[in-house]
Chain A
Amino acid sequence: MWGILRQRAVVDGGLSLRRTRSALVSARSYAAGSKEMTVRDALNSAIDEEMSADPKVFVMGEEVGQYQGAYKITKGLLEKYGPERVYDTPITEAGFTGIGVGAAYAGLKPVVEFMTFNFSMQAIDHIINSAAKSNYMSAGQINVPIVFRGPNGAAAGVGAQHSQCYAAWYASVPGLKVLAPYSAEDARGLLKAAIRDPDPVVFLENELLYGESFPISEEALDSSFCLPIGKAKIEREGKDVTIVTFSKMVGFALKAAEKLAEEGISAEVINLRSIRPLDRATINASVRKTSRLVTVEEGFPQHGVCAEICASVVEESFSYLDAPVERIAGADVPMPYAANLERLALPQVEDIVRAAKRACYRSK
C-alpha cells in the first residue's frame, strides 16, 4: 500500500475495473484527442446513469425538477424520468430530509440535494441521529442507503451564512461516509460509488468547481465506472514535501506545486477524495517518503480536517518528520463579504507555497 505509484480503480459490488494510471499526470495535461468534461456534467451523468440502472434511486430537493436544479446539476432528469423519480420539495429541509431517510429505511435509494450544505444544518439531526447511527443502534437491521449531496464551502461573495465548510463536522461522525470530489472523474466515480453504497454518504461538492473542465478517460465515461471509497489519489508525485487537501484546494495545491518546482522544491499533492473513511495509509506513506507535511482546507481551522490529518501523521509517523506539521485553512472568522476581506479569509496559492517552504527550510 505504501509508496504507491500506480492506482487501481475498483468498482464495488463485484465489478472490477482494473487499470493503471500514472500518478504523475496533473489535472491539466492530457494527450491530444481525449475528452473533457465539466464537473457539472460529470455529476449529472452520474446521477442519470445510476437512476437508469436502479429504479430505487430517486432525486429529491429544492428546485431539482422543473427549475432543472439550482446549479443545474439535475438538469434534464425530470424530463427523462418523470415526477415519480424526481421530486421538487418545499423549502423545509428538516421535513424532506427526514422523509428521505425514512424512504431509505424502507429500502429506497434517495439522492437528497441541499441547495448548499449551510442549509443541511436545518436537517442535521436526521443526517446524524436518524441516518448515521441507525445501522449500529439496530445491530444491522436498518441500513440507510442515502446520499446527501450539494455544494459545500465558500462560493464568491455570498457572505457568512452561505460559505461554511461542513467536512469536519460530518466526517467526525461514525456511521457516515463523507466524500469530496475535485475533478470530473472524481465527481463521476465518487457519486456513482455513493449512490450504490448501502450506508449514508455526505457528498460535498463545490460550486466554483461545477463549471471547471477536466480531461476524462474512456473508462471514466463508462456507466459501470466507480471509484473506491476511502482511497486518496496522488495527483502529483514529489519527494520534498507532502501537501494533503480536498475539493477546490486540490487545484490550488497543484498550482502551488508548480510554483515550488520553479524553486527546486518537489511537492507531492494528495487529493483525499474521501474525508471519512480517511486514507491515513496513503497520507502516512507519503510523509514517510518526504518527511514534511502541509495540510490545506477551506473550512474553519479549529478542530478541522487538517487537525485530524496532522494528529494522524504525528501519531503514526513522528520519527519520519523533519519539520513541524503545517496547516493552511480558512481564517478563524465568519466569512466577510468585501472582496479583499474574503480573499484574506480563504487559503490562497501563496499561503500553500509559504507553508511548504517553511516545512522545507525548517530544522537540520
Chain B
Amino acid sequence: MALSRLSSRSTTLFQPLAAAFPTTLRRHISTDTTPITVETSLPFTSHLVEPPSRAVETSSSELLSFFRDMALMRRMEIAADSLYKAKLIRGFCHLYDGQEAVAIGMEAAITRRDAIITSYRDHCTFLGRGGGIFEAFSELMGRTTGCSKGKGGSMHFYKKDASFYGGHGIVGAQAPLGCGLAFAQKYSKEEAVTFTLYGDGAANQGQLFEALNIAALWDLPAVLVCENNHYGMGTAEWRSAKSPAYFKRGDYVPGLKVDGMDALAVKQACKFAKEHALKNGPIILEMDTYRYHGHSMSDPGSTYRTRDEISGVRQVRDPIDRVRKLIISHDIATEKELKDMEKEVRKEVDAAVAQAKESPIPEPSDLFTNIYVKGFGSESFGADRKELRATLP
C-alpha cells in the first residue's frame, strides 16, 4: 500500500543515528508504537447511545502516518486543482481538502474487509483504501492507467479488492447501496461492517430514510457517516434542513456527533460505531468537517460563504495542523522534520502527475469494453452504426 511505504521509508533514515548515540543531541523521529493517550478536541454528543470516551489511544507511528497520509491527500487535491485549471482534468472535480481527517481516522479504526462507499468526493477515500496517486491522477486525466482505466473519471474511483465500492454521482444513492453492502456482509456472516459516507446535502434524501428503516429492521451492520461540511453545493445547512442535527435524524437509529477535523476523534468514533453496528445494527456518525474548495472546481466557493470563514477554519481547525501540533508537543518529530516530510510528499505527487501525463489514452475499442460481463456476441454501435460497431464477447 502506497501510504505505509512512505512512512516507513522516512523513519528509517533517522533510526541508526539514535541507536549509536543514546544521548545524542539530535532527537530522532519516533517509530514508537507505545500507546499515547490523547484527548479529543471536543466531547462526543450522542443520540440514543452512551458516547465513547474522549481519551483516544494512539502512538507515535500512528500520528506520523496520519500526518503523512493527510499531507499526501492535501497535496493530491491541490495538484488536481492545478490540473483542472490547465484543462487536463475535465468535467466535474470535487475536492476533499479540509476533510482529510475523516478518511484517515476511519481507516485507522477499520480493516480492508470493512467496506466503504461514498459520494463523488472520493479521491481521498480512494487513497485511504490503498489506492495510488498515480492511478488517481491517471483516472482524472482519462488515461488507461487510471483506476477505472479512464472510463469512470473523478466521480467513479473504485477499489474492490480493498472493499471500496465507489465513487457515486447521484446524491444520496450511496445510502441504500451501502446498506446493501452491509446486508451482504451479514448474509455471508463476515463479521465486517460498511461505512456509507454522504453529505449534509444528501442527508435530506428520502432514500436515506428508506435505507435506514430497512437497516434498522433487519439489524444490518451499517455505519452511516454524514460528512457535514455545512454546505450542500451552494446551500448552507440552515437553508436546506429543518433539523441540521444530522446525527439525530435517524430518529430510532442512534447517532454520534464528532469533530471531523480531529483525526483521533474520527478514529474513536469509527471504532465505537463498528462495534455497535456488529452487535446492534445501524448507527449514524455526523462528522463536523469543512471543505476549503467550493463544491466542485466550477464553484469558487466564496459566493455563499465568506473568505474569512474559510481562512478562519484553516487557521483554527485544520486537520493536518492539529496532528502537526500533537507530534511536536509530544516530541515525536520537529517542525523541520515535518516540513521535510511535506516536501517529500510534494515531490512524490509531482512525480506521479508527470508520469500520469505521459500515460496513454484509451484505445477506440475501449469504447465497447465492460458494457457487460457476458455480451453473448450481441452488437454495440458508435454514432454512425454503419461505420462503427462492435461485437460484445
Chain A residues proximal to chain B, CB less than 8 Å: 12, 58, 84, 87, 89-90, 92, 94-108, 125-126, 129-130, 134-143, 174-175, 177, 197-199, 228-230, 277-278, 280, 315
Question: Roughly how many angstroms separate A96 CA and B150 CA in the complex, as a whole number?
Answer: 31
Are B210 and A102 in contact, with the CB atoms below 8 A?
no
Q: Is the CB of B173 within 8 A of A129?
A: yes
Q: Could you say which of A105, A129, A175 contacts B371, with CB atoms under 8 Å apart? A: A175
Contact A198 B373 (CB under 8 A): yes
Chain A contacts for B165, CB-based, 8 A:
102, 105-106, 142
Chain B 125-163, CB within 8 Å of chain A: the 1/0 string?
A: 000000000000000000000001111100010111000
Report whether A95 and B207 are in contact in the complex, using a CB–CB cutoff of 8 Å. yes
Known A107-B184, A139-B369; further 8 A-B contacts with Cβ < 8 A: A12-B374, A92-B213, A99-B177, A103-B183, A130-B177, A137-B151, A138-B166, A139-B150
Which chain B residues border A100 with CB–CB below 8 Å?
Answer: 180
Do residues A230 and B176 form an inter-chain contact, with CB atoms below 8 A? no
- Number of chain B residues close to chain A: CB under 8 A: 54
Cross-chain contact A102 with B177 (CB below 8 angstroms): yes
Contact A135 B181 (CB under 8 A): no
Tally of A-B residue pairs with Cβ under 8 A?
162
**Stretch among B86-94, B286-294, B375-383 lining the A interface:** B375-383
Complex: chain B residue closest to A229, CB-CB: B376
The interface residues of chain B lying within 8 Å CB-to-CB of A92 are: 210, 213-214
Residues of B at under 8 Å CB distance from A?
115, 117, 148-152, 156, 158-160, 165-170, 173, 175-185, 187-188, 206-207, 209-211, 213-214, 217-218, 369-380, 385-386
A315 touching B184, Cβ below 8 Å: no
Please give, as numbers and ranges, the residues of chain A lying within 8 Å of B370 by CB-CB distance.
Answer: 135-136, 138-140
Residues of A within 8 A of B378 (CB): 230, 277-278
Taking A106-B185, A199-B372, A315-B385 as contacts, is the C-beta distance between A129 and B169 under 8 angstroms? Answer: yes
In the docked arrangement, what's the CA distance between A97 and B206, Å? Answer: 13
Query: Is the CB–CB distance between B187 and A95 below 8 Å?
Result: no
Shortest C-beta distance, B156 to chain A (Å), equals 4
**What are the 10 closest A-B residue pairs judged by CB atoms, nearest first?**
A102-B180, A98-B176, A95-B210, A277-B378, A106-B184, A139-B149, A92-B210, A102-B177, A198-B373, A99-B180
Q: Nearest chain A CB to B58's CB is how many angstroms away?
A: 31
Chain B nearest Cβ from A54, distance in angstroms = 13
With A99-B211, A126-B176, A129-B170 as contacts: A106 and B377 at CB distance below 8 Å:
no
Q: Given A94-B206, A105-B177, A199-B374, do A138 and B214 touch, yes or no (CB 8 Å)?
A: no
Q: Report the bound CA distance from A95 to B170 in whole Å.
A: 14
* Chain B residues with CB under 8 A of A230: 376-378
